[in-house]
Amino acid sequence: MAETLQVEQPAISKMEKRTDLYLSTLRNFIEAMNGELEVRAVFPDGAVIVDLSERVEPSSGSRP
């Protein structure tokens, strides 16, 4: 996993223990396992799949 994501193994261990992380980090982690991240917002009148196809990196100092 670390090799696929081009990070050191301790970074993988740290990421696995986090309870809050960026969607881009989670997407990269899932894609490294040959998966695809899908986010769905559920409302009283239905559900909407959130489009994550645009890979916009967060600006420094802000959280998504």
What pLDDT score does 43 carry? 96
Element containing residue 39 per DSSP (H, E): strand 39-43
Tell me if 37 sits within 8 A of 31, measured CB to CB.
yes
The whole-angstrom separation of Cα 11 and Cα 34 is 19
DSSP 33: T
CA geometry: angle 39, 40, 44, nearest 5 deg:
160
What pLDDT score does 11 carry? 82
What pLDDT score does 61 carry? 54
The low-confidence residues of the chain, meaning pLDDT below 50, are none
Residue 64's alpha-carbon distances to 12, 21, 49, 61, in angstroms, are 21, 10, 17, 10
